[in-house]
Structures are given as C-alpha cells and as structure tokens.
Amino acid sequence: MSGEGRPELEPIDGAGLRVTIVSGLWHNTIADGLLNGARRVLAASGAEVTEIGVPGSFELPIVAKAALEAGADAVVALGVIVRGETPHFDFVASAATDGLTRVALDTGKPVGFGVLTVDTEQQGLDRAGLPDSKEDVGGRAAEAAIAVARALRRIGARPAPGARPAALD
C-alpha cells in the first residue's frame, strides 16, 4: 500500500490558521470521503475553514492560487483522477500535480496534496477515508497543510513576492 512508511503526525494545532479546502467533484463517493477526512482533521485542529468545489482536478490549481492570494494560509487540494483508456488521465494528473506544486512555490504557502491518481475506482475507495478504506488521504492532506503552515511560521517565512498578504485579524 502506498501509505507504508508515512509519518505519524501529532494532532496539529491549526488555531489562527485560515485553510481553504478546494475539492473536485468527480467520483462523488470517493470525493466525499476525501472531503470528510479533511473536514474532520481541520475541525479538530481549530483552523478556520472555507470550502470551494470545482468541477474536477484540472481546475484545482487556479482556485487554490486564488484562495491563497485572497488570504488563506494554506490550501487542501482534493481530487480523484481514475485512469481510463485514453491519455486524458496522464494530462490531467500531470496538470493538477504540476499546477499545485507551482501554486505552493509561487505563493510561498502550503498546498496539502490530496489528489488521488489511481488505476481503478477500488483503489480510490481504498484511500478515500471511508469506513472500509485503508487510508484517509483527505485527512493526511489536511494534516500536511497545517504542519507546513506551522513550520513556515516557525522559521518566519513570508509569502512569495507578489502574493497578497493575509488580512489582518
């Protein structure tokens, strides 16, 4: 299983952080599982959460960037891309992955990566955080986003030049 060797993170304090969940709507059951896992972790952390649904994983980077530029401290990006019989999977998976990486680097803010790129729907169900799932990728992506936001604050990192600053409390 791909989750083998993952770190066990302590419960993370997200108090004072504004986190936006950006989630694709394809593959409802899997997408809902990812979203519920992220919600659970963020609620337990005390972070202020906003949710934005987008049509699919291809649209995640542009909305993630907009959320971070509008003042979110971190984004949790959630999506499901299931391999089909055409190269469409490769293009969408690459665009989502590369785009979200670029968003994090361009803004200087964390993007928790919760995009499943799987060969079958069953593989997605196994990672969706559902009662019978083996993994909770949505929850893990939320944990990562908060952990990195906290790490950046500890080292005094500032958003990238040109990124809009977070609103003052």
**Residues marked as catalytic:** 88
> Taken in order 105, 107, 108, 110, is the CA torsion positive or negative?
negative
Our measurement of the distance from residue 7's CA atom to the centroid of its chain's CA atoms, rounded to an integer in Å, reads 17
Whether 64 and 11 have beta carbons less than 8 Å apart is answered as: no
Nearest to 31 by CA among 62, 56, 49: 56
Whether 75 and 20 have beta carbons less than 8 Å apart is answered as: yes
> Taken in order 58, 4, 12, 110, is the CA torsion positive or negative?
negative
Cα–Cα distance, 81 to 93 (Å, whole number): 7
